[in-house]
Each structure stands twice: as structure tokens, then as C-alpha cells.
Amino acid sequence: MIRPFGYFVHHQGRGHAERCAAIAHALPAERPLTLFCARDDIFPALPAHVEIRRIPSLFEPGGDEQGSMDWVPTPQTLHCAPLGWPGIRAAMATISGWFHAADPALMICDVSAEIAQLARICSVPHVKVLQHGNRTDPGHQSAYDGAAGLLAPFHADLAQPEWSTAMRARTCFAGGLGVDTRVPEREVARQRVGVGAEEEMILVLSGGGGGGFAQAPLGVGARAYPSARWITIGAVQRDWHATEPANIEHRGWVDNAADHIAAADLVIASTGNTTCQQILAAARPWLAVPEWRYFDEQHRKADALGAAGVATIRPHLPSSAQDWTGAITEARANHAPARQRAMIEDMPADKAALWLEALADRLWTPASTAPSASSLETPTL
């Protein structure tokens, strides 16, 4: 009997579910896979050997929570562990009960320090998905230190400088994991999004994990470049004081973000993982403006992108026409398309799946016949 893999999927944003689906398709069909998530409607199509078990959200109250226990301090090894929440008990019972019944080979955690530690406490080896951010706190470090391996859905050149050699050696870096990085031809993409072949197009893109960029500074930017056609996709925060010119258009959520990116002459975007991989694959001039996230995730990712020379970074949207001119001029001057494309693996899901299978084999192979460390290096595809 082949032991199953478990997989916890955080339901905020889209990237967690998309890379889970990519790995699910790349894993062998004979490997059972059970997903645990607070939503079952966020996943792309999944193969037949995958089961989804819905669990209550670990951080959204359901109405039956006891709120009078907040005076009890949270230990530093935990992030979100309020007392008196029936939903959290139900989620943990579902997962730990499955651990007991299924005897899994591996639990993949994307992402929760608490779920990762639960797996370790229940004597189940886990893989922790690695994200950017200031994550040196005891909670994250406990999850990382107790993991059998780490999985990074980005290129090794985007690793943070404080990550040790030992930590990187335990990590499978898979740039482009979970993202459709096929790039349509510019002319075809422009036809699809309704932009003329000779028009200058500036795309503003916000991902699905937050509230999006503010309207007012985008209006200032569009006024600074009146000859360009500005198109925004994703969320835009409305400002009552915004005065927008006629050359900016808000399209909201679209199903063809890749077409918009491929059609653009320059992209202004936040630094969520899916957004990053799509822009890097398209190799467009990029003004990267990180949004607020827990643990400064997008800001630390922006630092890594800037250090790798694949994006021009600003901590916030420019606030004047002069600042917009300087930022866009710099983004165009710094453009390094070959370096951007090099951030994307040819077959990242297959690389991750092979690594997971090799890790499971190592974990469950008796010590006397365990493979050597050299045979467990991340596979090259």
C-alpha cells in the first residue's frame, strides 16, 4: 500500500491553491492525496486521485467563539491560536484524525505554522512551503526547523540573504510553480485585450490577496503620461479626491491577466507570488510596488527582486508627476528580460513532485539501506 500525502492549503489569495493543483497533477497517479482547506471552490481542476476535505477557517470567526479568553497570552511559537474557538478544534480534529487513520507519508503545509507543528507533534513528517518575509520569529522557525524539507515556489536567486546554507540545502526551489507561465505573442495578446498595435500600454496589476492600489496616485501617473493608455486589472481602492484623465481604464478582475501582461509595454504591480511569476515569464519592464502583508512578505520579496536585478522597486506608488517620470524611466532603463526569464523553471511542478517523492522514499526507507545524501539532491529536469 502506498502511503498518501496530505496537503494543507491556505485559502487567502490564489497562489496556494494553484501551486497545490500543479503538484497534484505532477505527482504519480498511484499516490493518494488529501487536501485540507477552508474552501473547496478555489482550486483549478484536480486529478481523480485527489480528495478535498473542507475544514473551518483557522482565523475567521464562525459565530460560536468565546471572546473572554483574550487575556491569556499567546506563546511566541504560535501566530493565530485564540482560545475558545470550536472551529479551530474541529479543523485540528479532522486533520489529526486523518493522520491516525491514513498513516501518511508526508504532510505538505502551505501555509500555517500551527498546522506544520501539529504534524510534527503527531509524528507525521512535513514539508513547509517557504515564503518571503521577516519570519525569524519562534513560530516560523519551529515550523521550518521541524520540517523534513522546505519548498520554495520561486527561483533560488530570490532567496533572502539571511537564509543559511543549511536551510537552502533542505529547500527545493521551483520558480514558476503553480503558475501558467506560457506567454502569448504580443500582437495576439493585444488583439485579445483590445489594444492597438502601436499604442503605448501601461498595465497596473493588483493580485487577489489584498485591497489593491489606490486610485488617486494612478490618476497622477496617467496624467504624467498622457500619450500612454493606462489599464488597471484587479482591485483598485477608490479615492473621493481622485481626478482621473481619460487615458486610464479600470477593468477589475479579468480571466486573462496573462494576455494583459504580454500586451503591456510596462507593468506596475505588487509582488504577490503569482503576479511575480507571470511578469518574470513575460519579461516586461516592471515597477514593483509591494502591498502590506503579514511579516512584510511583499516588501521582502521586492527586496529580493531588486537584488536579483529583475524589477525596479518603489516602497509605494509615486506621489507626483515628477516621481512617476523618474520611476518609469528607471524601470525602462533597468529592464533585463533575459535575467527575468531565467527566474522561471521549465517544469517546476515536475521538479517539485520528484523532490517530494524522493523525500518520502528517504523518510520511509530503513536506516540501514537509506540512500546517500548525494542521491537526494533536487532533481534537474
Backbone angles phi, psi at 103, to 5 degrees: 50, 60
How many Å apart are CA 230 and CA 223, to the nearest integer?
10
Cell numbers at 359, concatenated: 523525500
- The answer to whether residues 295 and 221 belong to one domain is yes
Q: In this predicted structure, what is the pLDDT of residue 63? A: 79
The ranges of the chain with pLDDT < 70 are 13, 209, 368-381
How many Å apart are CA 112 and CA 131, to the nearest integer?
11
How many Å apart are CA 41 and CA 36, to the nearest integer?
12
Question: What CATH number is given to the structural domain containing 303?
Answer: 3.40.50.2000
- The answer to whether residues 251 and 331 belong to one domain is yes
User: What is the Cβ-side half-sphere exposure of residue 159, based on CA atoms within 13 angstroms?
Assistant: 19
- The answer to whether residues 173 and 312 belong to one domain is no
DSSP letter assigned to residue 205? E
Question: Domain total for the chain?
Answer: 2
Residue-wise pLDDT for 55-77, tens only, equals 999 988 887 888 789 899 999 99
206 located within any domain: yes
- The answer to whether residues 161 and 247 belong to one domain is no
25 located within any domain: yes
- The answer to whether residues 366 and 303 belong to one domain is no
- The answer to whether residues 248 and 224 belong to one domain is yes
- The answer to whether residues 210 and 73 belong to one domain is no
47 located within any domain: yes
381 located within any domain: no
Q: In this predicted structure, what is the pLDDT of residue 372? A: 55
Question: Full-prediction pTM beyond 0.85?
Answer: yes
Percent of the chain with pLDDT over 90: 88
- Domain with 277, as residue range(s), is 186-341
Q: Counting Cβ atoms within 10 Å, is residue 338 exposed (0-12), middle (13-18) or buried (19+)?
A: exposed
Q: Which residues pair with 7 in a beta bridge?
A: 35, 108
The answer to whether 228 touches 196, Cβ cutoff 8 Å, is: no
334 located within any domain: yes
248 located within any domain: yes
- The answer to whether residues 287 and 222 belong to one domain is yes
- The answer to whether residues 89 and 206 belong to one domain is no
- The answer to whether residues 147 and 238 belong to one domain is no
- The answer to whether residues 351 and 337 belong to one domain is no
- The answer to whether residues 225 and 212 belong to one domain is yes
